[in-house]
Amino acid sequence: MWRFLKNRQFNEKQLSLLRLLYIGTCYTIGVIALLPLTMIINRFMPPIQLGDMNIDILASLLTCALLLRLIIWLLKPLIIPATILFMGYLTVNGWMNGYSWGDFTEDYTIAIEKNWLERENKQTDLLTIMPSPLENASSMGTREVRDKVMMKDSLVRNFAVEYSIKYFSKYHNKYGKITRYLSLFKYINNNFNYVHDTYRDEYFASARETIMNGLGGDCDDHSILMASALMSIGAKCRLVVIRGHMYPELFVGSEADFAQMQNAIIELFSDQRVQKLHYHITNGEYWINLDYTARYPGGPYMNNDIRLVINL
């Protein structure tokens, strides 16, 4: 690269400035890439003890630094052009309401936070590491979640039956099975307690586990519980993965079925002063939001950046 610049007949001062720009760009890229790559490498680094100290994270950091140095050395002619193209891409997309600097910053932060947890319980990342040539990240994540949905488990079934009749029974003749679904939603959402994962990667708790621990867990644990419990009493559900979050949706059916569900929610959750239901339509059929962040069925979505839909 420097041979090319010298052939362009830059003077020494200009070459020095260009050299500083190049070195600064390389170091900036290296520092940005260092933390998330160190965390990923650390997943597969066996525990290393030095006396009473765990130094596998330090070994991962040094390994990552050497790896980045090698990559930058091999690709040095492309560093500045690639950086300019990437910055231009984020800037232009930001103007067009696409993937922007804000999205990049958020994804970068999430990548670090999801991995900077306890060094114990190392395991393969379910959502970012491809386990085999025949199973991609999305299919592996889908399989892991489906394995935790337990609508036929006796504990889950008994839990669902008990709390599906806790509320709204006097409206059963008017709205039928809808009252059972809404009663179960109300109990779970009123009593669910958010608890962060203690593992380096996402830990998907089964519905049985969440019931036995007193209804504690994170968004995917809530989603698995809600779907399992509702499906155990005849409902149809799916799970939706958006950026940084997962939530369950309840199948409603046709437009006429949706109108009946809407009337039931407005009447049974009158204390919430429901103004609008939030839903998705797939092949002409309605699905409503059952997120734990919503105070009533069909409450607002956190965002609409859908990454994956898991049909159950």
Q: The domain that contains 259 carries what CATH number?
A: 3.10.620
Q: Which residues contact 48 (CB under 8 A, 6 or more apart)?
A: 54, 55, 56, 59
Q: What pLDDT is stored for residue 130 in this prediction?
A: 39
Question: Please, how many CA atoms are within 13 Å of residue 196, restricted to the half-sphere of its CB?
Answer: 10
Q: Whole-prediction pTM value? A: 0.59
| Whether 97 and 194 share a structural domain | no
Which tokens is 196 given? 């962060």
SS3 137: helix
**pLDDT of 254 strictly over 60:** yes
Q: Note the pLDDT tens digit of each residue in 19-62.
A: 777 777 777 877 777 777 777 777 666 667 676 666 777 887 88
Residue 291 banded pLDDT, cuts 50, 70, 90: very high
Q: What pLDDT is stored for residue 123 in this prediction?
A: 45
| Whether 92 and 191 share a structural domain | no
SS3 126: coil
Do the domain assignments include residue 118? no
Do the domain assignments include residue 120? no
Do the domain assignments include residue 188? yes
Question: What radius of gyration do the chain's Cα atoms show?
Answer: 25
**pLDDT of 111 strictly over 90:** no
Q: What pLDDT is stored for residue 58 in this prediction?
A: 81
Q: Distance between CA 58 and CA 42 in Å, rounded? A: 9
Which structural domain range is residue 244 located in? 137-311
**pLDDT of 261 strictly over 60:** yes
Which of 50, 79, 113 is the last residue in one of the domains? 113
| Whether 101 and 217 share a structural domain | no
Do the domain assignments include residue 119? no
